[in-house]
Amino acid sequence: MYLKIINPEKVIFEQKITKVTLPGKEGAFQVLKNHAPIISFLSEGTIKGISNNKSFSFEISNGIAKVNNNNITVLIE
């Protein structure tokens, strides 16, 4: 899978990942390989995941996530 996190100024994170957990408006949800396509609003919380066997995390205030064909794009403020 491939994750790209973007804010209005620049790309913050862009890497192949194994999994990611996103803070959805209705609660956190995890995205794994071959996840069904989805668009979701994100709330304040932490984006957490695994890339190259190392964990990463980003604190966000809100945003939108799009998952399609093992590509995840997250737009944050």
Count the residues in the chain.
77
Residue 21 CB contacts under 8 Å (≥ 6 apart), including other chains: 28, 29, 30, 31, 46, 47, 48, 49
Q: Are 47 and 23 in contact (CB under 8 A)?
A: yes
Region 51-66 average pLDDT: 95
Quote the CA–CA distance of 77 and 67 in Å, as a whole number: 18
The pLDDT tens digits of the residues spanning 30-49 come to 999 999 999 999 999 999 99
The pLDDT score that the predictor gives to residue 77 is 85
- Convert the pLDDT of each residue in 18-33 to its tens digit: 999 999 999 999 999 9
Q: What is the DSSP letter of 18?
A: S
Whole-number average pLDDT of the chain = 96
Domain count, the chain: 1
The confidence score (pLDDT) of residue 7 equals 95
Which domain CATH number covers 50?
2.60.15.10
Burial of 63 (0-12, 13-18, 19+ CB in 10 A): buried
Query: Which pLDDT belongs to residue 2?
Result: 97
Domain around 67: 2-76
Q: What pLDDT is stored for residue 26 in this prediction?
A: 92
